[in-house]
Homo-oligomer: A and B are copies of this chain.
Amino acid sequence: MAEETQLCIDDRSVGVVETVYLHHDGLLSLESRQTLGPLTLAYETYGTLNNARDNAILLLHALSGDAHAAGYHADDFQKPRPKPGWWDDMVGPGKAFDTTRFFVVCSNAIGGCMGSTGPSCINPATGRPYATDFPVITIGDMVNAQKLLMDYLAIPRWYAVSGGSMGGMQALRWAVAYPDRVERCIPIATTHRLSAQSIAFDAVGRAAIMSDPNWQNGHYYGTGKIPANGLSVARMVGHITYLSEQSMHEKFGRQLRDAEAYTWDFDPEFSVETYLQYQGDSFVKRFDANSYLYITKAMDYFDMGAGYEALEPATARFLVLSFSSDWLFTTAESKDIVRALRWNGVDVSFMELQSSYGHDAFLLEVEEITRLVKGFLN
């Protein structure tokens, strides 16, 4: 055990961390004109807030992420292969988000299922889980919930906000909704409005979940049945969009998993099939199907406008990053963001990184991202 611990926690790790919870008794006004409350926000912090309270960085997670961006949880070491937080490569002493210098905060988005209030939580009005009585939320609502955390932590202004994919949407929204509270903004592999094709993929995922008889109009909690098949199919579709054609070709090609020859049946036999099946199955164990509906819908609703005035209120300095093979949120979409920002006179640095990893590159192209983010934060 001790050996494994040493393997994982080196001097560039934030070490053992804990998710903590902010309970907010008030009501949050939502874009839908509904309200949500009381609220719980799960969050983690790494590094130390300085006396001037001006070294805080907010990290925003993607669809299936959580508050656990870096380091390990104590109980991870009871697992055979402990896995660190989702952006551990980017957060720690000497890393892109250098915890010897910055106080890094990450919270689970509302609507999710990783500790913050979402559809699987108890609805105080009924004493039962919200399920589909949970109000539809937006990226803006997620940001407003994070603003409660910011105020609770008494942070006057984020030194920077950053995230990839849906995390990038939240970063953009922060910069537009609270321009005085955001000094720097680093949206990565993201868009300022979901395209028809991205909405289409989300719609397929939701159709798969909602047509699973175990979904039961969302009220599956406590019934002993969950829409596992639907959620698994939704995740499989998602995964195709996270990879590039090239990376799929390089990773899998037409390789068969177990056999030299075709099996002549319908069991998954190509490596790419078994990979997707595995991704679908393991997602079901850790993610709530209703949260998948709410979070994809929040993304579909995300639209900061089509024209140059789209991001007008933003005043932060921007670093916008895209990846050449990302076909979910393309370089063209990042350029739309950059164009609007420049039109508005905002200081923006943009880079398309060459990568074959597709959309997943924001989690994988650590070296390049680190170089650019470090330079930008200095």
Contacts and interface: CB of A to CB of B under 8 A. Distances in A.
Interface of A: 32, 34, 132, 135-136, 193-197, 199-201, 203-204, 206-208, 210-213, 229-230, 232-233, 236-237, 240, 243, 245, 248-249, 251-254, 262, 264-266, 268, 270, 272-273, 276-277, 280, 293, 297, 300-301, 303, 327, 330
B254 A232 contact: no
A200 B249 contact: no
B303 A200 contact: no
A204 B205 CA distance: 11
Given A203-B268, A240-B204, A254-B303, A211 B196 contact: no
Q: How many copies does the complex hold?
A: 2
A212 B245 CA distance: 28
A interface SS class: helix
17 contacts: A132-B266, A136-B264, A136-B266, A196-B245, A196-B251, A196-B254, A199-B270, A199-B273, A200-B236, A200-B248, A200-B273, A201-B240, A203-B273, A204-B236, A207-B236, A211-B233, A270-B300
A111 B357 CA distance: 36
A229 B297 CA distance: 20
Contact of A272 (B32, B196, B248): B196
Contacts of A208: 208, 233
A135 B266 CA distance: 11
A276 B200 contact: yes
Contact of A203 (B32, B136, B204, B276): B276
B233 A203 contact: no
B199 A262 contact: no
